[in-house]
């Protein structure tokens, strides 16, 4: 059977038919032993169709998505060029904007997209590394300045790793773009070369890993009742697990991230938060006892009282990988690893306008506390900042080895 397939592929490759979706230079490569790089299989009758895969190619794309931690993966039929062209076109059409922020050392297909779509480009020129004479990284500060100078941009477009192997801080850049409601397009065509050596070279998994994989909620979960159906349908959004059993959605889930499985538990406190919630401590016991043991267990404890969060710290120490508190919006100075190996911080802080009272216009908040009538909250304007914590976890133990509080302005 293998011999028959090989003979058919050889016959097709020598037929003179030209596959327009396969770059010509790829066909001129001499096949390595066991790697028929010069053969095009996507139009051979009886072979899985790349344009509508439902067999071996569909399985391969699913495995690739799991490897990269992506929700979905598509193989591009004529190289990364078509992916870049399609991504930029989609960003322009969906936003209606005609300006983009681009790294000057992007692939030429970015320039083609700018010309084809008649866009205005705001260029980011990375500094030259004096030791090697090559372009360095695009920094978060450069992107922040560009977003302020060009607030109506359709997308930010970067290459990381670059063709010389230079990385940019995609996590920080993604946070800036998301805060500005601007999509981030990353050409990561050379990222696969890094994958086997990722940890040794400081690469944290690329663009997909820089985004949010799971959203946890708190006391405002049902501020809009329309969220109920969404909670039932979306496995990546969790509400507190100790809400009444009649509440829609879920508060615990395990996510397959390829090389590791991550369990996420969302809890809400009961001190000064009147939501008729069940006991968060016994809820954690029940879930952790009955759940299959994933590589890591992360807990978001949305609670008002510092004492309740600290009590949970000691209660779950050694049983979960990381535990952090949310709700009070102000970062605490107690980030660290507990005695039995759980990473902990009492409160992560807030992501939102820097000049604000919990995201609200300061003037409105001051007026309220002076005795003014309550009104609809008005979101503060101006530069934003992202606060949080970085937990370094050990997959061999499932515990934490380091916690670092972060703030990106």
Q: How far apart are CA 267 and CA 239, in angstroms?
A: 8
At residue 333, the pLDDT reads 95
pLDDT above 70 for 24: no
Assigned superfamily of 215-408: Metallo-dependent phosphatases (3.60.21.10)
Q: Which residue has the higher pLDDT, 361 or 258?
A: 361
3-class DSSP string for 258-294: CCCEEEEEEEECCCCCCCCCCCHHHHHHHHHHHCCCC
User: For residue range 172-219, what is the model confidence (pLDDT) as tens digits?
Assistant: 898 888 888 899 999 887 766 555 555 455 555 555 555 667 888 888
Per-residue pLDDT band at 256 (split at 50, 70, 90): confident
Q: Are 403 and 392 in contact (CB under 8 A)?
A: yes
* Dihedral pair phi/psi, residue 156, rounded to 5°: -110, 130
Q: Are 343 and 337 in contact (CB under 8 A)?
A: yes
Per-residue pLDDT band at 17 (split at 50, 70, 90): low
Q: Do domains 80-201 and 215-408 have the same CATH topology?
A: no
Distances (CA, A) of 30 to 24, 37, 174: 13, 7, 40
Task: Please compute the mean of the pLDDT values over residues 1-25 and round it to a whole number.
Answer: 62
At residue 32, the pLDDT reads 47
Q: Domain residue spans in the chain?
A: 2-47, 80-201, 215-408
User: For residue range 273-282, what is the model confidence (pLDDT) as tens digits?
Assistant: 867 899 999 9
Q: Give catalytic residues, as residue numbers.
A: 220
User: For residue range 112-164, what is the model confidence (pLDDT) as tens digits?
Assistant: 999 999 999 999 999 998 888 888 899 999 999 999 999 889 999 999 888 77
User: For residue range 335-392, what is the model confidence (pLDDT) as tens digits?
Assistant: 999 999 999 999 999 988 899 998 889 998 998 889 877 777 888 888 888 899 999 9
In 102-248, which ranges are continuous DSSP H helix?
A: 108-116, 140-149, 170-179, 206-210, 227-233
In 139-245, which ranges are continuous DSSP H helix?
A: 140-149, 170-179, 206-210, 227-233
Q: Would you state the CATH architecture of domain 80-201?
A: 3-Layer(aba) Sandwich (3.40)
Q: How far apart are CA 162 and CA 20, in angstroms?
A: 27
Q: Are 260 and 281 in contact (CB under 8 A)?
A: no
pLDDT above 90 for 268: yes
Q: How far apart are CA 320 and CA 308, in angstroms?
A: 17
């Amino acid at each position: 059977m293998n011999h028959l397939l090989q003979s058919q592929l050889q016959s097709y490759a020598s037929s003179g038919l030209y596959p327009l979706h396969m770059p010509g230079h790829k066909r001129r490569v001499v096949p390595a032993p066991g790697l028929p790089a010069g053969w095009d299989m996507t139009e051979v009758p009886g072979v899985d169709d790349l344009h509508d895969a439902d067999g071996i190619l569909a399985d391969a794309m699913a495995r690739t998505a799991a490897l990269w931690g992506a929700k979905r993966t598509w193989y591009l039929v004529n190289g990364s060029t078509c992916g870049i062209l399609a991504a930029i076109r989609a960003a322009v059409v969906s936003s209606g904007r005609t300006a983009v922020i681009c790294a000057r050392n992007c692939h030429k297909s970015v320039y083609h997209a700018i010309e084809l779509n008649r866009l205005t480009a705001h260029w980011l020129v990375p500094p030259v590394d004096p030791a090697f004479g090559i372009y360095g990284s695009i920094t978060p500060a450069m992107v922040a300045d560009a977003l302020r100078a060009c607030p109506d941009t359709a997308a930010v477009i970067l290459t990381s790793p670059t063709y010389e192997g230079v990385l940019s801080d995609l996590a920080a850049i993604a946070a800036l773009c998301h805060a500005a409601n601007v999509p981030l397009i990353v050409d990561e065509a050379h990222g696969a070369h890094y994958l086997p050596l990722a940890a040794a070279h400081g690469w944290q998994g690329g663009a997909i890993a820089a985004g949010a994989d799971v959203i946890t909620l708190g006391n405002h979960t049902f501020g809009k009742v329309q969220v109920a159906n969404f909670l039932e349908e979306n496995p990546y959004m969790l509400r507190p697990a100790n809400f009444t059993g009649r509440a829609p959605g879920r508060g615990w889930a395990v996510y397959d991230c390829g090389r590791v499985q991550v369990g996420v538990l969302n809890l809400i406190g009961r001190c000064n938060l009147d939501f008729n919630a069940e006991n968060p401590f016994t809820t954690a016991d029940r879930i952790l006892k009955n759940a299959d043991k994933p590589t890591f267990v992360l807990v978001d404890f949305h609670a008002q009282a510092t004492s309740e969060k600290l009590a949970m710290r000691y209660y779950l120490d050694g049983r979960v990988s990381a535990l952090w508190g949310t709700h009070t919006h102000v970062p605490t100075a107690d980030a660290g690893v507990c005695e039995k190996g759980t990473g902990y911080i009492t409160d992560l802080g807030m992501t939102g306008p820097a000049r604000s009272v919990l995201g609200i216009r300061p003037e409105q908040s001051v007026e309220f506390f002076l005795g003014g009538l309550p009104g609809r909250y008005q979101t503060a304007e101006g530069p934003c900042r992202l606060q949080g914590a970085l937990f370094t976890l050990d997959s061999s133990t499932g515990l934490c080895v380091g916690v670092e509080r972060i703030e990106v302005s």
